[in-house]
Amino acid sequence: MSITSFYQRPIHSTLYLLLSILFTDKLVRYILFKFHSYFNQHKVNVIEAFLMPFITLLSSLFINIKKHKISFEYTLYDYYPHLRLPYRTYIYSNILRFIIQSVFLVFFKNQLKSSSVKDDAVNYFYDGVSYLLRQLRWFDLKLGRLLKRLLSKKKGPKKSAFKAMADARVWQNKLVKYVILAFILFLLAIFITIPFSLEAQAVFISFILLVAYALKRVKGQMATIVMITLSVTTSSRYLWWRYTETLNWDDPLALALGAGLLLAETYAWLVLILGFFQTVNPLERKPVPLPKDTDLWPTVDVYIPTYNEPLSVVRPTTLAALSIDWPADKLNVYILDDGKRPEFKDFAAEIGVGYLARADNNHAKAGNMNSAMRYTDGEYIAIFDCDHVPARSFLQMTMGQFLKDSKVCLVQTPHHFFSADPFERNLNNHSQIPNENMLFYGLIQDGNDMWDATFFCGSCAVLKRAALDDIGGFAFETVTEDAHTALRMQRAGYKTAYINIPQAAGLATDSLSAHIGQRIRWARGMAQIFRLDNPLMGKGLSIPQRLCYINAMLHFLSGIPRIVFLTAPLALIYFNAYIIYAPFIAIFIYVVPTLIQIKATNSRIQGKYRYSFWGEVYESVLAWYILKPTTVALFNPNKGKFNVTEKGGLNDEEHYDWGISKPYLILLLINLLGIIVGVLRLFLGDSSQIGVLIISMGWAFYNIIILGAAVAVAAEARQVRHSHRIKANFPAGVRLANGHTLKVKITDYSDNGVGIETEHAHLCRVNDKIELLMSRGNKQFSFTTYVCNTRRKQIGLTLKDLSLEKQRAFIQCTFSRADAWLDWQNNFRHDRPSYSFKEVQKTSLRGFSNLLFHAPRALQPIIKFMTNTVIYINSFTPKKPIVHNNHD
């Protein structure tokens, strides 16, 4: 069938071609008759034109199968693996699987392996767009050709039109920039507020998606700015539409629930806009070299606050702090012990560092450091949490900023963790998925630095004593003394800086409950700052600084909006309340493309630091628990106390934390029941509600996937190692008992052991004594070790009977290496939304599996039914095709 015949009756002829592949002619004709009747009844024949680009894309796949003489039966199951048994027997549901997979095959990169097939598909797509524009009489075919030229991705010496425009010199002129910015804002105001018919909205959003899809492959900040502009336009237009056309004023219940959803969407829109502003141009500041004359270097006090942590956690940090490359007469290390423990005092005396304790524990960590300032006199104060082991180069990388600019009061470096946090450990994806902190320390802090709004994060930072004295010491009015202290110094006119090079590493939280407890404190503290020292009010801050702080505070107010999003689709399913009072096709045209555009833009900006969909998993885990403390703090900011995050603990056996997961389980259950009720209403309810019911059920199913992943995190993995193993790759040597010295490679280490790789197998046996030789610069050190295990060329060594001096040397050669953490962001490739969604799906199914495994016997049938339901629904999601060489 030629493409011309598709234009004659696009919907009927195309669907006939696609459906006839799976079903009999009689069944196909029946489906088309029902389809045609529905469209005539609802007077939406123009949707044929809107669907045309996408239908021609689907058709092109099968046209090319015939064109390239590929065996269709074989290819069908390669490209549609989930149409095999057992699901192939469900003919009606296979229609939906087939259509979803077809869209996936056409739109997602590297799915069509044959370049000629993909090129033909793209050509059909542009033909379809041209047909749509002709049908609506908006433009002529010239626009289709212009789009091809503008968005061309052809390789060669010639640049695409967009690339050429982006690289033009005219953008370097400030006046031109301001004029263009004003013009863009004017156009945005028009495009956001002008009323469109559904047909016009369809054309408008299709054009934006076309541009955004092409820009994904265009490098440079200009393309990012354009994608942000498009996202701001689509999201703002959506919100305008929601406020002006979608509230049901005739139904009080629908109005109340719809208004709640609209407020949650407004919150999400505001956070989105502020996030774009915050991260559009990260500074990526570089270290400033220090003067060669060390006499010009200032004195530095190193504070290591501790309260209830064991000495085994504090010892490596203290020994590493003593090893920082800085003149010994200008470096003083202090243990600030709010636990007042004799063994800590003895340890400090043994290694020659200061020990400070106080009579009371008023104001927690902030009070501890304010007390220490009365007994120390360094010009600068470096602060490390007691589990953060600093690199030797820490002061070399940070202090130059202070000497360059006397107004700099704070230099912050990232918090890096060599142990897996509860998400990474319980989901077994450490170093595979960026963790929750990575977005903040990898991107947001660099964005804050651009606007002179770097946050003090309580550790891995240097502060100027004079600036602290100027504001009265560390802020203690809130439980987040760090961010509050930075805010006060910035109000006083001081500058802050961020160096995005990890110069210390520490322990992540030990359990999900401890992790949530830490986030509760952060959330309460930011809400307290919002009430007691609101960045929007008062003097001293620039507008960008205020916006950066307000976005950080809004982030911790996400509890209520996230709960709303996790329950909103149930309003229609359970109560028949139209919370978005609009026809099915209007909801589809406004909602789906807007979400796709936002996801694509965030993926481009955050792709190295936060994978798509994982942010919603993190928020869902925390939502219920931060809801109460933030709400209470907004009304009573003085309520609540500082809680210390426990670290260094063990977990002897796997278990499921039913207490912490209770909110997710309740939300999961009501969404699953919503799916069941929705299916019953599809068959037994009003046929005019089918469209909105399908959207609500799709939304509920998405919530089930997110909540399933949240449930998976509550299965606490076994953790019996007292010392965490850290992967490494640097040379060393060993001296065997026979006196032979061999070169080896360090593959991992901990504070009491080392893994090495040799060139030859079976060099030694378990319990053999070996001298491990490592170097720091020109110095060489020898450590007595014993073989604890051997696996061909892999040997595990245990450190025994090391003196304090040897322990210090070992820390210098391992944890304190200047290059120890430099590759912290290099393990992750850029986000691919399809891959990320697939990983979240896998995690969700794992959550159901965990429930089934850990559930009491009486509940297992119910959970098994829930699991099977989710697996069946998951069969509709796109699958990666299996393409054989003879298909190319």
> What amino acid positions are annotated as catalytic residues?
338, 482
Contact 257, 571 (CB under 8 A): yes
Measured CA to CA, the distance from residue 542 to residue 765 in angstroms comes to: 66
Q: Which residue has the tokens 């070399």?
A: 396
Instruction: Tell me the CA distances in angstroms from 266 to 262, 308, 561, one per residue in order.
Output: 6, 42, 9
Closest CA to 341 of 315, 368, 307, 314: 307
Task: Annotate 310-366 with three-state secondary structure.
Answer: CHHHHHHHHHHHHCCCCCHHHEEEEEEECCCCHHHHHHHHHHCCEEECCCCCCCHHH
- Cis status of the peptide bond prior to 86, with omega within 30 of 0: yes
Measured CA to CA, the distance from residue 111 to residue 81 in angstroms comes to: 13
Measured CA to CA, the distance from residue 246 to residue 709 in angstroms comes to: 32
Measured CA to CA, the distance from residue 25 to residue 27 in angstroms comes to: 6
Measured CA to CA, the distance from residue 803 to residue 518 in angstroms comes to: 35
Task: Specify which residues 335 forms β-bridges with.
Answer: 304, 355
Q: Which residue has the tokens 């401890």?
A: 514
The number of residues making up the chain comes to 888
Q: Exposed e or buried b for every residue in 130-159, given b needs 16+ CB within 10 A?
A: bbbbbbbeebeeebbeebeeebeeeeeeee
Closest CA to 844 of 815, 877, 888, 822: 877
State the chain's maximal CA–CA distance in angstroms. Answer: 92
Measured CA to CA, the distance from residue 248 to residue 263 in angstroms comes to: 15
CA 517 distance to own-chain centroid: 20
The alpha-helical segments, DSSP class H, found in 508-542 are: 512-532
Closest CA to 153 of 223, 227, 217, 225: 217
Local structure of residue 441 (DSSP, 8 states): I
User: Cα-flanking dihedrals φ and ψ of residue 734, to 5°?
Assistant: -135, 145
